[in-house]
Chains A and B, each alone.
Chain A
Amino acid sequence: GIQVEQSPPDLILQEGANSTLRCNFSDSVNNLQWFHQNPWGQLINLFYIPSGTKQNGRLSATTVATERYSLLYISSSQTTDSGVYFCAVETLGTSYGKLTFGQGTILTVHP
């Protein structure tokens, strides 16, 4: 099956800093999503982004499908950005639904 690798595994920042999280995947995809899991365990969908660039406030994401990677940018980080960020993908040719998750990047933002 498709492999998903996220880097870095851990990231510690001071409030106000910027960061870039990376997701590499081993096959062509038709579906790529980024999620944030907060310290209470809730999973929130940040982006559905199989290709191209999207922005939502301080967060933006870019997927270069031909090179099999996606980047999540967090600008002016806040303590509420802490948690685990997951990338999840689905292989091209399947039916737009079943995601394979990466292991996540644990982000800690200190005040």
Chain B
Amino acid sequence: DADVTQTPRNRITKTGKRIMLECSQTKGHDRMYWYRQDPGLGLRLIYYSFDVKDINKGEISDGYSVSRQAQAKFSLSLESAIPNQTALYFCATSDSLRQGAKDYGYTFGSGTRLTVV
């Protein structure tokens, strides 16, 4: 099984619908992130969570919300999807100083390709 699992892998939804993207990890990492990737724009941070009670907005949080249900689970919601939210969405995890980490390298999930029509 993958260390970081995202579901669904692909999703087509209509404008105005609520949609949730889910992420779960078996790395035991404290930190989890949601990024979106658009062609030509690289990856941009939507939300991040350094532990279950610590959730923070990233660079482009408008139109999104998140929930950290457990250390291993971090979900991203689009409350009312719009076409410009069509993108590839990635969840990632990393270790923390609290856990004694010396390497803060990210582990990414396989991505969710979301199309809003």
Instruction: Mark A residues whose CB is within 8 Å of B.
Output: 1, 31, 33, 35, 41-45, 47-48, 86, 88, 95-104
B107 touches A86 (CB 8 A): no
B48 to chain A, nearest CB (A): 6
A86 touches B43 (CB 8 A): yes
Checking A35, A43, A95 against B50 with a beta-carbon cut-off of 8 angstroms, the contacting residue is: A95
Which residues does chain B contribute within 8 Å of A96, judged by CB atoms? Answer: 94, 96-97, 101, 104
CB under 8 Å from chain A, chain B span 71-109: 88, 90, 92, 94, 96-97, 101, 103-108
Total residues of chain B contacting the partner, CB 8 A = 29
A45 touches B97 (CB 8 A): no
B111 touches A103 (CB 8 A): no
12 more CB-based (< 8 A) A-B contacts, given A98-B33, A103-B40: A33-B104, A42-B108, A42-B111, A43-B108, A43-B111, A45-B106, A88-B106, A96-B96, A97-B33, A101-B42, A101-B43, A101-B44
CA distance A43 to B110 in the complex (A): 7
Known: A43-B90, A97-B94, A98-B48. A33 touches B106 (CB 8 A): yes
Q: Which residue of B lies closest to A50 (CB)?
A: B104
